[in-house]
Amino acid sequence: MKRLLSRLSGFAANAVATGLATLLSISLIINLHGPADWSVFAVAQSAGLAGAVLVGFGWAVIGPATVAPLSAAERRREYSIAVRTRTTIFVAVACIATVVILSTARGLAIYLPVAIAYASTGLSSLWYYVGTGQAWPSFFRDALPRAAASAVAPLAALMGATQPILGGVILTGSFIALVSSWRFVNAEAQGTILKVDKAAFFASLSKQWHGLLSGGLSAIYMTLPTVLVGIMAPSAAGVFALGDKFVRLTSTALLPLTQVLQGWVPRGTADGRRSRAVRASRISALVGVCVGAALALAAPTVAFFFTQGKVPIGFELSVPMGLVLACTLTTQVLGAGCLGAYGDFRAIAISAVVGAAVGLPVLFFATAAFAAPGAMSAVVAAEIGVLLTQSVALIRHLRR
C-alpha cells in the first residue's frame, strides 16, 4: 500500500505541474493577448502535438508494458533504442516541416517555431517511468523541466519575445528532460550495459509499429479538429481549443490513476493478470463516467471565470466534452494497460483504425454544419468506436 501511495502521489505531482503550467499559459495568452492570439497559438500547438506522435514512434503506447518485466540492463537498452530513434525522427520532422512551409506556404511560418517545439514533446520519457513504476523520478526529471518551460514561454511573450524565442524556450525544456532521464536510466543500470546490436534494434522497432499506428490515428482525430475548426470556422477556433484543453487537462489530472493501473496490470503472475485487468477496466470506466459528467456540468462556469467571459463555452459543447473525457479515461487503461498486458498491440492499433474511420467522415460534415460542437461530437464518435473495439478484444482475452 505504501508503494502504491508513493506512485500515486508522484504521478499526481507530475500531473499537477503539467496542468498548472498549461493553465497559466492559456490564461496569460487569452487575457493578455486576446482570443485571436490564443486561436493562433492553439492551432500551432495542435499541429505540433500531432507531429509529437510521429516522433514518439509508438513508445507511449507500447513502451510501458514492454519495459515493465525487464531487468535494469534490458530497460537501458530499450531506452537507448528509443532515444536514438526518436531524436532522429524529431530532427527529420523539424527539417522537413521547415522546408515545406517556407517553400510552399510562407504565410504559415508564424506557426512553425511553436509547432516544432511541441513536436519535441514526443521525446518524453514518461512511458519509461510509467512502465517501471518510478513516479517521483518522472516528476523531477521529465515533468518539471517541461512544465517550467511551458510556464516561462508565455511570460517571455509578455516581455516581447518573438515566436522563435517562445519555441526555443519550450524546446529547451524538452531536451533538459531528455538528458536528465538519460542520466537516470544509465545510473539505474549500474554499469551493466547490453550492446544494442542490429537484432535487438530491429526487434524493438518492430514492436512499435502497432503503437505508432494507434497513436498516429488517435492524434489525427484528436488534434485535427482544432486545425480544421481554425480553417472552416475561424471564429469558433478559440472556444473549441479551450474546450479541448479542458478535456486534456482533466485527463492529465487523472493520469496518476491511469498510469498506476497501466503499470500494475502487466506485473505479477499470468494467473493474476485476468483479475487485475477486470478490476482496472471497472475502475477506469467508473472514474471516466463520474469525471466526464462533472466536466460537462462545470465547464461553462469554469470557462467564464477563467477567461473573464472572453471565450464562453455552452452546454452544447461541454456535454460532448464530457463524453470524450469519459471514453478517453477508459480506453487509456483498456488499451495500454489491459490489452498491452496480453501483448495484443494489434487490437490497440485496430481500435485506432476504427476510431479514425468513424470519426474523420463525421468531423468534416459536423464541423461545417455545427462548428465547435460538431467537431467535438465527431471526436465523441471516434472515441466510442475505439472503446467498443477495445472492449470486444479484452472480453475475448478474458474468456480464454
What does the pLDDT average to over 269-277?
79
Residue appearing with cell numbers 477486470: 278
How far CA 161 is from CA of 98, 154, 202, 376, in Å, comes to 20, 9, 43, 33
How far CA 252 is from CA of 59, 185, 224, in Å, comes to 18, 24, 20
Domain that holds residue 130: 2-398
Q: Which alpha helices (DSSP H) does 29-143 contain, by range?
A: 35-56, 59-67, 72-104, 112-119, 126-132, 135-138
Split into its structural domains, the chain has a count of: 1
Q: How many helices (H) and strands (E) does the chain have?
A: 16, 0
Dist CA 299 CA 314 (whole Å): 8
Of 135-139, 191-195, 288-292, 389-393, least confident by mean pLDDT is 191-195
pTM of the entire structure? Answer: 0.71
Q: What is the pLDDT of residues 87-118, one digit of tens each?
A: 988 998 888 888 877 776 666 676 788 888 88
How far CA 349 is from CA of 11, 66, 209, 256, 301, in Å, comes to 26, 16, 9, 24, 37
pLDDT > 70? residue 373:
yes
Long-range contacts of 274-277 (CB under 8 A, 24+ apart): 274/398, 276/341, 277/337, 277/338, 277/341, 277/342, 277/394, 277/397, 277/398
Dist CA 98 CA 311 (whole Å): 32
Which is higher by pLDDT, 176 or 368? 176
Q: What is the pLDDT of residues 160-206, one digit of tens each?
A: 666 677 788 888 999 999 999 999 988 887 766 666 666 666 666 66
Dist CA 83 CA 80 (whole Å): 5
Q: What is the pLDDT of residues 287-307, one digit of tens each?
A: 999 999 999 999 999 998 888
- Backbone CA torsion sign across 176, 178, 180, 183: negative
Residue 342 DSSP SS3? coil
pLDDT > 80? residue 33:
no
How far CA 369 is from CA of 40, 221, 364, in Å, comes to 22, 18, 9
